[in-house]
Structure formats: structure tokens, C-alpha cells
């Protein structure tokens, strides 16, 4: 038989109102002894409150919606981990939606989450969102706070989560230049979906400032996946005809694919070609040789996005700050200096 609040009150020797207040964190006026008696019964009988009934009383669902483009992507899985870690500690549940890189599905999920009465929404997207979604983001009286993880593409006055991407790639390129590399390739994303222009800009700016001529053969487009890195690396190796000594990839997954392409070409990393990734994923340290990469704090970005949305729910009239995340070049074994 399911334990009720009335049963807990009887076993603890207190009133039903006392139990209700203590379970809903409104029991500050009660003594520690009273709280301990109630919580001891709750723990002993593994009591779980009726969530639906409580939400009808409190008018709160304690649920947050999150939309991501690809739950299988290492970056987004780490982002989700950061969101869940923050929310779970506060008793919020995450409703996760995977848009599979489909803009229409992304918008459909948005309205579905609103319909399901979530208290807030986190949208991780490379897209420019519809005016209606952005209006909900920017007006506090809409009732459903929205936090975007979007590389600051959508215009808003607060709540931006910005990574210093240009600086990160600039530092990586500079590290290669200081290691006497001049024939440095860059593998960028396919432009139809992601647009990581700050990463490409960091590469180009560093070449220009070091008087290294621009060569279009040293830039190739491919998908931000392991397979994309493999096909992109094969292409750039062919284009540069053995002259390229280093390759910067727009993410770590691309770098993983590039390793295989380099191996199949009969070359060695880093003796023949140095490789640098971007993201700082945990898997990058287990490549052989371990991957030098630009680390961005993906977990912290997710954690901060969750904090922002909860703050917007619980303190609706405060200004949500903009937070800038630094990058860090993690030097491992995939880069070799040229004598």
C-alpha cells in the first residue's frame, strides 16, 4: 500500500500540515527534532510524493525542456551532462528532445514543450530561430524562460553563453607557427548548417599576422563527424600534394577521422603531419598519439545554461548575465616541431 502524508503524520506523531510544510521546504519554523522525525519516516518507508498532485497544487512542473541537434554527438552529450548535473541537484527533471539537425523538428519540439508545461527551455542550436521563439526569449512576461546555446547567433540583450573560439584557434595556429610550421591546413565545417566562422577567423588572422600567404588548397570543408574528418583529411592531403606539415580540425571528432586518413596515406603523426583538434573531449586523450586540442568547457557551458534557466524561473525579474568561457590549448603528443 502506498504511504500517504496522513500515514507519515501518524507515524511521526505530528500534524498533516507539518508534514506537508516540511516536505515542501516550508518548514523553517519547526524544530530540528520535528523535522528529523518526519524525514526519518520518509526515509524508512522510501516515500515518494505524488508528483502530479503536487504540481497541481504548486502550479509548478519542476521540468525543463532541452532541444539539441544530435544526442549522439560527443559535444552535445557532454553539454547535456552539465545541464542534468545542475538540474538534478535541485529536483528538476529534464525532457530531452533530439531534432536530428532538422529545423522544422526543432520548432515542433519547442511548441510541444510549451504545451507540456515545462518551466523553462534550453535550446542548443546553430540556427537563426523564428521571430516567435526569439520574442519568447526576450520578453520576461511570456512565462517560459528560454536559454540559448547558439554561439550568440540570435540577437538578445542578456543570457549569452560565449566561447572564445577565435582566440582558441589563433593560439593553436600560433603554437604551430612557433614550432616552425608554415604549411598549415584547416578543416572547416560544411557551411550549410554549422557556421563556426570564429574558428576559421582565428586561423586566418594568425597566418596573416605571421606573414604566411593564404592558400585555398590548405582549407577544406567537411562534416563535423569522424567520417567527415576522414574524408576531409583525404581531400586536403591530395590537394596539398605532400607539402602540408600540420592540420587544424574544427572539432575533435574531425581530428579522429583525420588520424585514419593519415595512417592510410602511409604517414605518421606527428612525424609527418601534426594535428590539432577543438573541443577538448575526454576521448581525445586516448588517441595514439594523444591529441593536442583546444579545450572549451562544454560541461560548464551546460551547467551554466541550466543555472541561467533556473534563475530565470525562480527570480523572473533579474537580468540574466552574459558569460564568456575561455579556451585553453591542451598540448599533448600530436604536434612536432620542425627543425
In the chain, domain spans: 5-57, 61-163+298-327, 166-295
Q: What is the 3-state secondary structure (H, E, C) of 243-262?
A: CCCEEEECCHHHHHHHHHHH
Q: Which residue has the higher pLDDT, 303 or 125?
A: 303
> What are the tens digits of pLDDT across the range 13-59?
888 777 777 776 665 677 878 878 877 877 777 766 655 445 444 45
Predicted local distance difference test score (pLDDT) of residue 256: 97
Predicted local distance difference test score (pLDDT) of residue 292: 98
Examine the pLDDT at 112 and tell me if it is beyond 60.
yes
Point out the least confidently predicted range of 54-58, 207-211, 320-324: 54-58
Residue-wise DSSP of 277-307:
EEE--GGGGGSSSPPEEEE--HHHHHHHHHH
Cα-based torsion angle of the residue sequence 174, 176, 177, 181 in order, rounded to the nearest 10 degrees: -160
Listed in sequence order, the residues at least 6 apart from 205 whose beta carbon sits closer than 8 Å to its beta carbon are: 166, 170
CB of 303 closer than 8 Å to CB of 80 = no
Predicted local distance difference test score (pLDDT) of residue 289: 97
Query: What pTM, to 2 d.p., does this model score?
Result: 0.79
Task: Look up the CATH number of domain 5-57.
Answer: 1.10.260.40
72: its cell numbers: 549522439
Task: Look up the CATH number of domain 61-163+298-327.
Answer: 3.40.50.2300
How far apart (Å, rounded) are the C-alpha atoms in residues 66 and 49?
Answer: 25
Q: List C-alpha distances in Å: 27 to 24, 32, 36, 49, 298.
A: 8, 10, 11, 16, 37
Predicted local distance difference test score (pLDDT) of residue 53: 47
Neighbours of 338 (CB within 10 A): 12
How far apart (Å, rounded) are the C-alpha atoms in residues 173 and 167?
Answer: 10
CA 239 centroid distance within chain:
34
Q: Is the dihedral of CA 277, 279, 283, 285 positive or negative?
A: positive
260: its cell numbers: 585514419
CATH 3.40.50.2300 fits 166-295, yes or no: yes
How far apart (Å, rounded) are the C-alpha atoms in residues 151 and 164?
Answer: 10
Q: Is 97 left (phi over 0), alpha (psi -120 to 50) or beta?
A: beta
User: 63 phi and psi, to 5 degrees?
Assistant: -130, 145
Total number of residues shown for the chain = 339
CA-based end-to-end distance of the chain = 77
For the segment 289-317, the average pLDDT, to the nearest whole number, is: 93
> What are the tens digits of pLDDT across the range 230-285?
999 999 999 999 999 999 999 999 999 999 999 999 999 999 999 999 999 999 99
326: its cell numbers: 575561455
Examine the pLDDT at 105 and tell me if it is beyond 80.
yes
Average pLDDT, the chain: 87
CB of 113 closer than 8 Å to CB of 65 = yes
How far apart (Å, rounded) are the C-alpha atoms in residues 283 and 275?
Answer: 15
Predicted local distance difference test score (pLDDT) of residue 137: 62
> What are the tens digits of pLDDT across the range 51-92?
544 544 445 668 899 999 999 888 999 999 999 999 988 888
On the CB side of 30, how many CA atoms lie within 13 Å of its CA? Answer: 21
How far apart (Å, rounded) are the C-alpha atoms in residues 150 and 124?
Answer: 6
CB of 275 closer than 8 Å to CB of 247 = yes
CA 206 centroid distance within chain:
27
For the segment 106-120, the average pLDDT, to the nearest whole number, is: 87
> What are the tens digits of pLDDT across the range 135-182?
766 555 556 888 999 877 778 778 889 999 999 999 999 999 999 999
Domains 5-57 and 61-163+298-327 share a fold: no
Predicted local distance difference test score (pLDDT) of residue 58: 47
Predicted local distance difference test score (pLDDT) of residue 17: 78
Amino acid at each position: 500500500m502506498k504511504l500517504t502524508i496522513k500515514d507519515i503524520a501518524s507515524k511521526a506523531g505530528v500534524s498533516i500540515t507539518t508534514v506537508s510544510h516540511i516536505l515542501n521546504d516550508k518548514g523553517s519554523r519547526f524544530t530540528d527534532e520535528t523535522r528529523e522525525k518526519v524525514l526519518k519516516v520518509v526515509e524508512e518507508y522510501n516515500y515518494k510524493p505524488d508528483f502530479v498532485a503536487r504540481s497541481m497544487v504548486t502550479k509548478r512542473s519542476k521540468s525543463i525542456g532541452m532541444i539539441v541537434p544530435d544526442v549522439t554527438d560527443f559535444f552535445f552529450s557532454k553539454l547535456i551532462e552539465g545541464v542534468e548535473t545542475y538540474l538534478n541537484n535541485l529536483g528538476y527533471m529534464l525532457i530531452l528532445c533530439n531534432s536530428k539537425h532538422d529545423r522544422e523538428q526543432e520548432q515542433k519540439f519547442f511548441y510541444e514543450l510549451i504545451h507540456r508545461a515545462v518551466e523553462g527551455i534550453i535550446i542548443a542550436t546553430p540556427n537563426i530561430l523564428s521571430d516567435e521563439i526569439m520574442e519568447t526569449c526576450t520578453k520576461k512576461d511570456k512565462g517560459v524562460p528560454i536559454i540559448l546555446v547558439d554561439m550568440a547567433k540570435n540577437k538578445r540583450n542578456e543570457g549569452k553563453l560565449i566561447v572564445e573560439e577565435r582566440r582558441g584557434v589563433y593560439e593553436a595556429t600560433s603554437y604551430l607557427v612557433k614550432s616552425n610550421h608554415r604549411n598549415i591546413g584547416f578543416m572547416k565545417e560544411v557551411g550549410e548548417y554549422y557556421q563556426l566562422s570564429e574558428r576559421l577567423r582565428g586561423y586566418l588572422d594568425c597566418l596573416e599576422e605571421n606573414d604566411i600567404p593564404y592558400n585555398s588548397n590548405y582549407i577544406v570543408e567537411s562534416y563535423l563527424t569522424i567520417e567527415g574528418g576522414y574524408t576531409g583529411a583525404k581531400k586536403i592531403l591530395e590537394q596539398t600534394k605532400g607539402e602540408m606539415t600540420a592540420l587544424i580540425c574544427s572539432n575533435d571528432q574531425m581530428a579522429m577521422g583525420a588520424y585514419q586518413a593519415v595512417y592510410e596515406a602511409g604517414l605518421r603523426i606527428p612525424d609527418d603531419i601534426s594535428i590539432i583538434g577543438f573541443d577538448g573531449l575526454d576521448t581525445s586523450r586516448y588517441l595514439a598519439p594523444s591529441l593536442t586540442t583546444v579545450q572549451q568547457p562544454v560541461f560548464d557551458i551546460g551547467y551554466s545554461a541550466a543555472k541561467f534557466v533556473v534563475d530565470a524561473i525562480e527570480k523572473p525579474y533579474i537580468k540574466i548575465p552574459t558569460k564568456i568561457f575561455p579556451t585553453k590549448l591542451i598540448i599533448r603528443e600530436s604536434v612536432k616541431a620542425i627543425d
